């Protein structure tokens, strides 16, 4: 009879834990859902040097990120990483004979939006938001 009471108590504790912790576990699983930014994105960039709306085409392979930039700085290939919801990437552009290094770092808020900061060496810093097209 004691064995049955222990077993019943274990089932009760397990069910109680599932009922109480279930919603948080579901939220954690949703937060850790695989992010994939592959595709075409339009950004809104605001810096102390001005604003722009560049287009990025990303290809994600695991945490590795490659792609293409097209905007006011011309055209350039980019490389970066996606780790969890953190994204970072960089490229170098040639603007009228001057090399401009651009570095973006931010957070992917969903598979369709991201935001963060941008540093344009020699031109300034600012913020960006991005939306998947």
- The tens digit of pLDDT for each residue in 77-115 reads 999 999 999 999 999 999 889 999 999 999 999 889 999
Taking only the tens place, the pLDDT of each residue in 10-19 is 555 544 444 4
Sign of CA dihedral 72, 74, 75, 80: negative
- Distance, in Å, from the CA atom of 58 to the CA atom of 117, rounded to the nearest integer, reads 18
Q: Do 11 and 29 reside in the same domain of the chain? A: yes
Kindly state whether residues 71 and 126 are assigned to the same domain.
Answer: yes
- Tell me, what's the pLDDT at 27? 43
* Higher pLDDT, residue 33 or 29: 33
Domain enclosing residue 50, as ranges: 39-132
Of all residues in the chain, the percent with pLDDT exceeding 90 is 66
CA torsion, ordered 12, 15, 21, 26, to nearest 10 deg: 170
Do 5 and 48 have their domain in common?
no
Same-domain pairing of 87 and 103: yes
pLDDT of residue 2: 61
Q: Are residues 128 and 83 part of one domain?
A: yes
10, 45: one domain: no
DSSP annotation of 70 reads E
Residue 121: strand, helix, or coil: coil
pLDDT, residue 49, reads 84
Are residues 25 and 54 both part of a single domain? no
d(CA 73, CA 49): 12
- Please state the rounded mean pLDDT for residues 48-73: 96
């Amino acid at each position: 009879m004691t064995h049955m009471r222990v077993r019943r108590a274990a089932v009760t504790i397990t069910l109680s834990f599932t009922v109480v912790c279930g919603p948080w576990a579901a939220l954690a699983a949703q937060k850790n859902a695989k992010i994939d930014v592959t595709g075409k994105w339009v950004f809104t960039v605001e810096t102390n040097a001005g604003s722009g709306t560049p287009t990025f085409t990303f290809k994600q392979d695991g945490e590795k990120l490659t792609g293409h930039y097209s905007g006011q700085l011309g055209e350039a290939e980019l490389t970066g990483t996606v780790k969890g919801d953190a994204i970072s990437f960089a490229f170098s552009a040639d603007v009228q004979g001057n090399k401009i290094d651009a570095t973006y770092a931010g957070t992917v808020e969903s598979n369709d939006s991201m935001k963060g900061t941008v540093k344009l060496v020699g031109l300034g810093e600012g913020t960006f938001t991005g939306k998947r097209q």
